Chains A and B, each alone.
Chain A
Amino acid sequence: MEIYNTACPRNCYSTCSFKVVVDGGKVINVKPNPNNAATPEGVCLKGISYVERANSPDRILFPHKRNPDGSFSRISWDEAYSIITQKLIHFRKEYGAQSVLFYAASGMSGLLNEISGRFWRKIYGGATTVYGNLCWPAGLEATRLTLGENKHNVPWDLENAKLIVLWGKNSSESNIQEMIPIGKAVDNGAKLIVVDPRRTDSSQRAHLLIQPKPSTDGALALAVAHLLIKNGWVDTDFIAQNVSGYEQFASSVKDCNPQWASAICDVPVDFIHKLAEAIGTIKPMTLIPGYGMQRYSNGGQTTRCLLALSVLTGNIGKPGACWHYANLQSYVFDDVLEPLCYYPPSTPDGIIRRSIATARLGADMLAQDNPPLKMVWVERGNPITQNPNTSKVLEAFRKLEFRVVVEQFFTDTALEADIVLPAKNMFEQTDIIGSYWNPYVQLVQKVVEPAGEVKTEVTIYHRLAQDLGFTKEQADQVLIPPTDQGVTDFLNGKLSAFPQLSLEQLKQGPVLAPGLEEIAFTDGVFRTPSGKIELYSQQAADSWGVNPLPSYDVGVDATEGSNAYPLYLMSPNTKNRIHSQFGNLSVVKMVAGEPVALINPDDARERGIANGDRVRVYNSRGEVVVTADVTFANRKGCVTIPNGWWRTQGCSVNLLSEGRETDMGHGTAFHDNKVEVEKLNGKA
């Protein structure tokens, strides 16, 4: 029995360090690694479920080919390579390399993902790819425009806060380990405020819970700003020294009084006063905005409104005082950081056509011309489930002539493939990851040989390069040699820029990122055009056509001009999955149960719906049939269906969402979404 240090490479705040126990070439258990001060007690349920995931009988261990009846048959690697190579050559010859869409998402982080890009650019000679991102760009861009960079204090600094505002973030599900320092702060007498349409588990020990209507948080924040200024609760010294555009901002919120916001947000005026008083008078404050709130068409501006509260009160750059959105300090290996790396190039290079917005994947795929798309290669992603407007994405996929999906399990996307290639898991290849929350560089270690006939992407691309006419030496050169040594050399190359880091050291556990500022912005340096914190941002207006000041913009008409869909649909992440991963495991099913829609008792009663009824949730784009969970955890007028269930598990919530971009950053505004719910009569 051997024990290795490793880290979880999922797209998740926590990015936990942990130890994996291996026996006889199998992953048999996991243990916590206390050396990561942000995740000292260990991983969440998903991390522990790797014990099932790594050994699951459902895992894809061989290449598969789709039969005409939709079933899949195992084929040899030689057959898979031969079919794929023929298609690649055919499409490139007939239509050009850009007729192939290379789609990779956030299913597995790591530096080796770079090799895939090299293959499509330098071996195949081009491809079409997507720009933008499903997750967090609007908030990143809002923060970048205002503060110049996306970085924040280390997670354990939360213990120093006297006021913590969880605004649209439900750490108890999406960032469980963050509840440790929050709990310690509350134990030490800090106040906890939660702003969320839902009464989440994170609000258990909160002192104040404010439940605005979805997408109206910007108005609430502006009213708070109005009160901060009116009551003299702003940090004038901090503003004088660090802030540009205060005067314009102050005059723009003159009319944003609590009465105005109350009418928009459906939050009582006295609660807005309470929120403002806490933010204005308790220092230091850490404001933790979530990512769901910025997945609205007004998401970037909403984030700027919230950030203005941290700026006005001087809660930046001090212990316990922080704007806790994203901490990219451990992304030391990237040349271009998020969100800038999401933007399409201003002048296309003629090789990679970056012309499809992730947010509009289905529609944009269908709209591609000269050449039109003929083939897709998907890795690390499940776009049929996770991108907005599933029907449109499906239509676009089915219109293609050929689809390759590299996957560990038969996801909704894999089921659409012509060829499914078995994907490695995190225990089968060594890689290096950062985190957007904890400040460590970490090693994901190879601890077992790939199961069955699983091959890593590095190996697959290396072979395809040779099948496309490159010699082995050329493939080694352009990609990397597909061996453990090749991977080691590649990673050592990356590490060579940082004398503080080495593979040997990373094998011992997480290492704090070189150059880390435990308290971000203490130096008062803000990399904005003015060198100051920009409440007024000309760049925002020029780049995105938004108000240069933080403003409340009404979200797009999510009802499409109809009153037929009166309920806001919220589709948050749950602790049970990372997006659409983990939900297929038996141990996660035991915890997560069947797909449900959470509905408020008032709304349920109006519709004759009782707890446990089968209900149809629908709008003009589609419908899902789920079980009603009638609960006071939802505010009135809101329905919640956690995202990530597959269609084959009974509910793909993105059948209901629309593909549109956020106001800035090329994010995805799939949360502007309204639905109606009705009881299903006798046809469940």
Chain B
Amino acid sequence: MEQGFIFDYAKCVGCHACMVACYAENSTQPPLSWRQVNTFNGKKIPGHGFLHQSLACNHCLDAPCLKACPAVAYTRDSVTGAVIHHAERCIGCKYCTWACPFDTPKFNISKGVVEKCNFCNSRLKDGGIPACAELCPTGALSFGPITVERSVGNIGLSYQVIRPQLNTLRDEVSNSLPQMDTAATTSLPMDDVVKQLVEPSHKIHSFDEWPLVLFTFIASAMSGWLAAQLIEGALPVNRWVFGFLIAIGAMLSTFHLGKPFRAARALLHVRTSWLSREILLFGLFSVLSLAYLFVSSHNVWLIASVFVAVLMLGAIEMVYSVTTKAYSTPLHSANTILTALAFAAIFASATSIVVVTLAAKAILYLLRKANVRTMSAMYSLTSLVRFILGCFVPMVVFAFGHSQYYWAALASFALGELIDRFDYYNDLRVETPTHNLYKSLLSRLKRVK
């Protein structure tokens, strides 16, 4: 039988000894910690119970980190079942930190690589148990055979079926509530109480991810430009500009890594990692398109490039499938394939396609914004600018045939799209226990209301 962590909510008092035990055993560098203690209703909102939740790596049998890693930096120990991260193989792409719904892999900025709980693997091999479980002073955290898969969907924990080696006990303690005089604590109406809650900050911020924003945007634009060549009268591809864009794309995808000089490792895990596939297809696209532009202008090269471009954009979209999305439209208006299509239409001056794709984008955009509840002045202004630049201006120029403004329309569209692509990253969500606990609390508060 598989072994794993057993956590009893009713025994945990939130003392954090487990985190310190992990530090002492593994010499991690605070404030980075492989184990974390989360809280449910840490603000002690009256009328609702609270609990603490200690989590590290659950060494899932279907570990998403292991699948997602493009550099094969993760392996599973065949004896102990531990999912081991090998720092010397890590390229620092942080993709695993998006893939894991337990917020387990931690990026160490000073080292440029990810690190995480290793199950105290050497202790396991010596017949011992992990330090955190050994040193929990109330016995809330222990280690032993995993008997039931109760942890799936348990409070704060993911519904993803990835078979975490974790048993949780007595989560009903989150409903444990003493009789108490709520008037001693607050006279605020429940609406105001809900406002006291602060949503935990999200993992992905577009400005931090600017290399990815630019890379995916350039990939869309190049794909569109090349695809336009299939249509008569399209704006011809300037080989030097195109070569320059490929070089920029390659640099962006390399130098945002924690370990740029290990970038080639990104190709090692094509079998399961969409990130590996994306990088491989970008390389293939670069080779084919440069061959077409510099070596032979035979259409075979063009068609092959465009075919690979479509696969590449598909891979890009799949890379982000590990995240959840804050928008509810079926497609994001800055979807790379849609953007590439619009670019293709504009480069080809295919008026009707331009109008249709831009209209589709505009509808997707407006539907998305309609669901945003609170907007700051800056947010509203940016949204308006993006709409005018990306949709309105090019549509007017093309619909009314003002071809003398072609370049202005192209630039306007590109700028609007870039803003939207930044927006896309702000709409990406990574599932974490902290966010799940926050959502559980919010839904309980609303149910009571």
Q: Is the beta-carbon distance between B13 and A45 smaller than 8 angstroms? A: no
Number of interface residues of B (CB under 8 A): 48
**Contacts A199-B44, A211-B184, A268-B181; A177 near B137 (Cβ below 8 A):** yes
**Contacts A274-B179, A601-B188, A636-B185; A42 near B137 (Cβ below 8 A):** yes
Q: Does B31 contact A (CB under 8 A)?
A: yes
Q: Is the beta-carbon distance between B181 and A271 smaller than 8 angstroms? A: yes
Q: Does B330 contact A (CB under 8 A)?
A: no
**Contacts A183-B10, A601-B188, A632-B43; A176 near B138 (Cβ below 8 A):** yes
Total contacts A-B at CB 8 Å = 168
| Cα distance, A432 to B45, chains bound together (Å) | 45
The residues of B that contact A47 with a CB separation of less than 8 Å are 17
Q: Is the beta-carbon distance between B25 and A29 smaller than 8 angstroms? A: yes
**Contacts A44-B137, A575-B15; A636 near B178 (Cβ below 8 A):** no
Q: Is the beta-carbon distance between B196 and A611 smaller than 8 angstroms? A: yes
| Cα distance, A75 to B173, chains bound together (Å) | 57
B28's nearest neighbour on chain A, judged by CB, is A587
Q: Within A83-115, which residues are at the interface with B (CB < 8 Å)?
A: none
Q: Is the beta-carbon distance between B43 and A30 smaller than 8 angstroms? A: no
The residues of A that contact B138 with a CB separation of less than 8 Å are 41, 176-177, 179-180, 183
Q: Is the beta-carbon distance between A632 and B20 smaller than 8 angstroms? A: no
Instruction: Report B's interface with A, CB cutoff 8 A.
Output: 10-11, 13-17, 19-21, 23-25, 30-31, 33, 42-46, 49-52, 131, 134-139, 173, 176, 178-181, 183-188, 192-193, 196, 198
| Cα distance, A631 to B42, chains bound together (Å) | 8
| Cα distance, A41 to B138, chains bound together (Å) | 6
Q: Does A230 contact B (CB under 8 A)?
A: no
Q: What 7 pairs between A and B have smallest CB-CB spacing? A: A172-B13, A590-B30, A209-B178, A51-B24, A206-B178, A209-B180, A633-B44
Q: Is the beta-carbon distance between A587 and B20 smaller than 8 angstroms? A: yes
Contact with B179, one of A44, A208, A589, A601 (Cβ below 8 angstroms): A208
The residues of A that contact B181 with a CB separation of less than 8 Å are 210-211, 267-268, 271
Contact with A204, one of B31, B50, B193 (Cβ below 8 angstroms): B50
The residues of A that contact B137 with a CB separation of less than 8 Å are 16, 32, 39, 41-44, 176-177
Q: Does A445 contact B (CB under 8 A)?
A: no
The residues of B that contact A31 with a CB separation of less than 8 Å are 134-135
The residues of A that contact B13 with a CB separation of less than 8 Å are 172-173, 176, 179, 201-202, 204
Q: How far is the CB of B106 from chain A (nearest CB, A)?
A: 12
Q: Does A355 contact B (CB under 8 A)?
A: no
Q: Is the beta-carbon distance between B24 and A29 smaller than 8 angstroms? A: yes
Q: Is the beta-carbon distance between B179 and A48 smaller than 8 angstroms? A: no
Q: How far is the CB of B293 from chain A (nearest CB, A)?
A: 53
| Cα distance, A634 to B43, chains bound together (Å) | 9
**Contacts A589-B30, A590-B19, A600-B186; A632 near B46 (Cβ below 8 A):** yes
Q: How far is the CB of B194 from chain A (nearest CB, A)?
A: 11
Instruction: Report A's interface with B, CB cutoff 8 A.
Output: 16, 29-32, 39, 41-45, 47-49, 51-52, 172-173, 176-177, 179-180, 183, 187, 194, 199, 201-211, 266-268, 271, 274, 575-576, 586-591, 600-602, 605, 611, 630-636
The residues of B that contact A633 with a CB separation of less than 8 Å are 43-44
| Cα distance, A51 to B131, chains bound together (Å) | 13
- 8 more contacts with CB within 8 A, not counting A16-B137, A176-B15, A587-B24, are A41-B135, A176-B137, A204-B13, A204-B176, A209-B180, A271-B181, A590-B31, A632-B196
The residues of A that contact B186 with a CB separation of less than 8 Å are 600-602, 632, 636
The residues of B that contact A586 with a CB separation of less than 8 Å are 30-31
Q: Is the beta-carbon distance between A636 and B193 smaller than 8 angstroms? A: no
The residues of A that contact B51 with a CB separation of less than 8 Å are 204
Q: Is the beta-carbon distance between B179 and A207 smaller than 8 angstroms? A: yes
**Contacts A176-B137, A194-B178, A601-B193; A635 near B184 (Cβ below 8 A):** yes
Q: How far is the CB of B49 from chain A (nearest CB, A)?
A: 7
| Cα distance, A453 to B176, chains bound together (Å) | 54
A193's nearest neighbour on chain B, judged by CB, is B178
**Contacts A39-B137, A632-B45; A45 near B179 (Cβ below 8 A):** no
Q: Is the beta-carbon distance between A45 and B188 smaller than 8 angstroms? A: no
Q: Is the beta-carbon distance between B184 and A42 smaller than 8 angstroms? A: no
